[in-house]
Amino acid sequence: MESIVQALTDAYAQTWQEVLAGAIIFDLVYFAAGGVFYFYLFERRTNGLTLQQLPRYIVDPHLLRRTAPIEDARQSARIDRRSWLLRFLWAPPLTALATTLALVFGVFLSGKLDGWLGPRTPVSWPEWAILLCQVGTVFVVGDFGNYWNHRWMHRVPIYWSFHRVHHSAETLNYFTGDREHPLEVLPSVIIQGFWNGLGAGVVLWATGTSLQSGTLPALVALGVVWHIRTILYHSHFPLSFGPLDYIIGGPIMHQLHHSAESHHFSRNFSVQLFIWDWIFGTIYVPAKGETFRLGLSEEELGKANPHGTLKGLYLEPIQNAWRVLRCNGNRDRA
Ligand SMILES: [Zn+2]
Ligand SMILES: [Zn+2]
């Protein structure tokens, strides 16, 4: 128990604050650099945009790409920004809960496996190899869990009631990745905590090692990379990684996941590695230049968007979930 408390103290007090503070700055720089790069390569040449429009393009690219009527796009972006601010009130404890659950469950499980299958002789690998093995296993098992968690969000009607908040965005920008309902995030962190803990428990037992001091910071750093990707995913830069879209997924792959068009529904659930969509047959690689409207569905755009206000964004999912419980609510989009 003491080692768990110690690991948690290290993770939060020393690593998290520094890494996350750095991440916000890095995010902004990375996002802006992506914007400048894309602007120069595509927009400036094809649409003849001027240099004076560049700052506006970076913070509000949808205004120029016109994926939605301008007023609908502006309202969607406004709600993104407000919900992003409000998120600070409830998200940090839930993030902490995910890490705590993963750590406690991981250590508990490896102890149980010791009891059930007998302890393993500790591997005699160099420290860096043990670290790599621990981080790699937790990452891959956790990401497999991410894929299924996201698939369940779309498949389980009550879970979808809350995940709809993320999909009701009609434009993508810096804040859209964090457009989530707390009642989606709560079950989500518990499920993620379980999968990450499962990865940790199995690798600790199989290698006969204890948690390396660098494992948590490395996983936090990976979380930062994830966050940066989330920002590029929620942008209008239609970047594809070519054949690598099947393995790591370019931003275009997640942008497609936000399509309001029914033939795009239930595709591209992967969060980090896109091999999961490939393996389980849910991958959709958009054709070059393929465009689509973003949002919940073609019937719930603009004035019909149930989350056109902050109040709607927080309350409508609860009403929807209540209707689902009484068996006549919005079903999943499969
Ligand atoms: Zn989704
Ligand atoms: Zn998204």
**More confident of the two residues 10 and 142:** 142
Decide: 222 and 135 in contact? Cβ < 8 Å. Answer: yes
How far does residue 241's CA lie from ligand 1's centre (Å)? 21
Tens digit of each residue's pLDDT (9 = 90 or more) over 281-332? 999 999 887 888 899 999 999 999 999 999 999 999 999 999 988 876 555 5
Q: Is the pTM of this model over 0.85?
A: no
Better-predicted residue by pLDDT, 209 or 51: 209
Mean pLDDT of the chain: 82
The residue-averaged pLDDT of 203-230 equals: 82
CA of 153 to the centre of ligand 1 (A): 7
pLDDT in tens, 51-75: 666 666 655 555 445 567 878 888 8
- The pLDDT of residue 209 is 84
Ligand 1 center–CA 214 separation, angstroms: 32
- The whole-angstrom separation of Cα 123 and Cα 243 is 37
At 77-102, the pLDDT tens digits run: 889 988 988 988 888 888 778 878 88
The H or E element spanning position 268 is none
Residue 143 domain boundaries? 2-333
242-286 pLDDT, tens per residue?
Answer: 899 999 898 889 999 999 999 999 999 999 899 999 999 999 999
**Could you tell me which of 206, 191, 220, 56 has the C-alpha nearest to residue 133?**
206
Residue 3 CA, ligand 1 centroid: distance in Å: 37
Residues in the chain: 334
- Tell me the CA–centroid distance for residue 204 and ligand 2, in Å: 33
Report residue 187's pLDDT band, with 50, 70 and 90 as the boundaries: very high
Predicted local distance difference test score (pLDDT) of residue 100: 83
Q: Are 198 and 110 in contact (CB under 8 A)?
A: no
* Number of domains the chain contains: 1
Q: How many angstroms does the Cα of residue 274 sit away from the middle of ligand 2? A: 14
* Ligand with an atom nearest the CA of residue 163: 1
**Whose CA is closest to 103, among 14, 215, 16, 23?**
215
Q: Tell me: pLDDT of 183 over 70.
A: yes
Q: In angstroms, what CA-CA distances link 28 with 46, 253, 259, 280, 301?
A: 25, 22, 25, 34, 29
Q: Is the pLDDT of residue 162 over 90?
A: yes
CA nearest neighbour of 253 among 299, 300, 297, 292? 292
Does residue 103 contact residue 2 with C-beta atoms inside 8 Å?
Answer: no
Q: Return the pLDDT at 169.
A: 94
**Model confidence band, residue 111 (pLDDT cutoffs 50, 70, 90):** confident
Ligand nearest to the CA of 270: 1
From the CA of 250, how far away is ligand 2's center (Å)?
13
